[in-house]
Amino acid sequence: MIPTREQCFELIQRHRMMPHIVRHSEIVTDVALLIARKLNDSGQNLDLALVEAGALLHDITKTMSIKTKENHAETGSELLISLGYPAVADIVSQHIRLDPGSSAQDAVTEAEVVNYADKRVKHEEVVDIEERFRDVNDRYGDKFPDLKARIEENQLETRLLEQKIFSKIDISPEQLNDILSNP
């Protein structure tokens, strides 16, 4: 089962998501849907309702995690499983790091699209991967030196994912922002 857009916003309200995280999630959703539609135009078979719900809910427990320091990819996923949305839970669990070995060269998954879209939205702004990771590094890498290597690995994986996605569609990573601001 996949929650509708309306049900996603009910959940967002119920979990008292901070307004800037709601806005971030809406922009991630716009980016993810644009990419997913382009991929489908070129022969992929992505479930757009799943992409939409996964993107809207990817940070569903982030507000809480700021206080509790819980891993919000894990707790968000557990919450969605408990609500009967296992497919959305899987996307949320992979929104920071994709499961190793889950990627195939010829197909792009809903989890990959949401993961990539989140890496293109810094707070409420569409940016390139380098800028997004610079911000992550400033906020976490400098404070927690043992995270630095993991962040670098994640950036490299994201660059490879970007190459894979954009090898299949007729727009470039740089064009995303323009297309979203001039629909």
**Binding stretches for Fe ion (CB under 5 A):** 59
Q: Which residue is nearest to Fe ion (CB)?
A: 59
Of 181, 179, 182, 128, nearest in space to 155 by CA: 128
φ and ψ at 103, to 5 degrees?
-100, 135
User: Could you tell me the smallest distance in angstroms from the CB atom of residue 42 to Fe ion?
Assistant: 28
CA torsion 19→134→175→46, rounded to 10°? -70
Q: According to DSSP H, which parts of the chain are helical?
A: 5-14, 19-41, 48-57, 62-68, 72-82, 86-93, 110-119, 129-136, 145-166, 176-181
Of 53, 47, 32, 49, nearest in space to 180 by CA: 32
For Fe ion, the closer of residues 38 and 132 by Cβ is 132
For Fe ion, the closer of residues 3 and 54 by Cβ is 54
For Fe ion, the closer of residues 59 and 110 by Cβ is 59
User: Could you tell me the smallest distance in angstroms from the CB atom of residue 70 to Fe ion?
Assistant: 12
For Fe ion, the closer of residues 59 and 108 by Cβ is 59
Q: Residues 36, 102, 167, 171: is their CA dihedral positive or negative?
A: positive
For Fe ion, the closer of residues 144 and 175 by Cβ is 144
User: Could you tell me the smallest distance in angstroms from the CB atom of residue 75 to Fe ion?
Assistant: 11
User: Could you tell me the smallest distance in angstroms from the CB atom of residue 3 to Fe ion?
Assistant: 18
φ and ψ at 85, to 5 degrees?
-120, 65
User: Could you tell me the smallest distance in angstroms from the CB atom of residue 130 to Fe ion?
Assistant: 19
